[in-house]
Amino acid sequence: MTIAADNIIEVRGLTKRFHGFAAISNVDLDVRRQSIHALIGPNGAGKTTFFNLITKVHQPSGGSIRFNGEDITNEDPARVARRGIVRSFQISAIFPRMTVAENVRIALQRPKGTSFHFWRSESSLSVLEDRVDELLAAVGLEHMRDQTAAGLPYGRKRALEFATTLAVEPELLLLDEPTSGLGTEDVERIAALIRSVSANRTILMVEHNLSIVARLADKITVLARGKILAEGTYAEVSTDPRVIEAYIGGEE
C-alpha cells in the first residue's frame, strides 16, 4: 500500500458551476480513512453542493474525485452508493406507519451489491433479526422497537434514520447537518452516536454547531464562496483570521 491509501477520498480541482456561477471552485480535499472530517463555512459556501458532487447527485463541471484510489468522477449515484459512499437521509427514508424495527429490517433488505441475496434467503432471517437488534441497540432505540415510527419524538426519528443509514454499512458516511433542529439533549445523543459509529468507518460531516465540530472532528475544512479558506484542527482554523472574517464578515 502506498501513502495515498491513507486517504479514502482524494478530490482534485473540483469545480461545479450552475449557469456560470461557481458554487464549488477548484477544490482540492483529502479525507483520511477512519477519521471524522468536518466541512464548515457560512451559508451558501458550497458545502451541500460538495456533498452532492461526492455522491454524484451533481456531475462536476471540472476536476476529479477518487475513492479508495479509484476514479469515480464519472460514475452515477447508484454506483457510488454501492461502493459504500452513503449520505444520511438521502437513501434512507423513514416509513411512518411501520414500526421502528420494521424500518431497520427494510433498510437491511434494500438491494446493495451482494448483500441483497444474502439477506433475502429464508435461512438468514434470524441473522437479519439479530442485525436489526444490534442496530437498534447502537442508536439506543431497542426499547422502542415496536413503536410506530410516526409516533417517535423528533430526536428519536433522527436516531432511527441513523440506524437505517448504518444498515447499508457505509464505508464513507456523509452527514449534512446531523444536529440541526435538535434540542440540547438530542444534540448530545447524536454527537455520542457519531463518535461511536466512527470506530470503523470514515465520516465527512457538514455541521453548524461548532462545539460539536470542536469535540468530534479530527480535521476541519473551511469553505467560503466555493473555495477552501483554511484547513486543520479546530484550534488551528478557529484562530485563523480569514476564518473569523468569513464568519463575522457578514455572509450569513
Ligand X SMILES: Nc1ncnc2c1ncn2[C@@H]1O[C@H](COP(=O)(O)OP(=O)(O)O)[C@@H](O)[C@H]1O
Using CB distances below 5 to 8 A depending on partner kind, what does residue 23 bind out of Mg ion, ligand X, none?
ligand X
- Residues 94, 75: Cα–Cα separation, whole Å: 27
46 binds ligand X (CB under 6 A): yes
Q: What is the DSSP string of 219-243?
A: EEEEEETTEEEEEE-HHHHHT-HHH
Contact partner, 114, from Mg ion, ligand X, none, Cβ < 5-8 Å per class: none
Could you tell me the three cell numbers for 167?
444498515
Q: What cell was used for 209?
A: 454547531
Evaluate whether 30 touches 9 at the Cβ level (below 8 Å): yes
**Is residue 84 involved in binding ligand X (CB under 6 A)?**
no
Query: Can you tell me which of 8, 29, 38, 45 binds ligand X, judged by CB under 6 A?
Result: 45
How far apart are CB 161 and ligand X at their closest, in Å? 19
Site for Mg ion in 24-53 (CB under 5 A): 47-48
- Binding of ligand X at residue 221 (CB under 6 A)? no
The answer to whether 203 and 37 have CB atoms below 8 angstroms apart is yes
Closest contact distance (angstroms) between CB of 249 and ligand X is 15
In sequence order, the β-bridge partners of residue 174 are: 87, 204
When the beta carbons of 80 and 205 are compared against Mg ion, the nearer one is 205
Binding residues with ligand X: total (CB under 6 A):
10
Radius of gyration, CA atoms only, the chain = 19
Q: Which spans of this chain sit near ligand X (rule: CB under 6 A)?
A: 18, 23, 41, 43-49
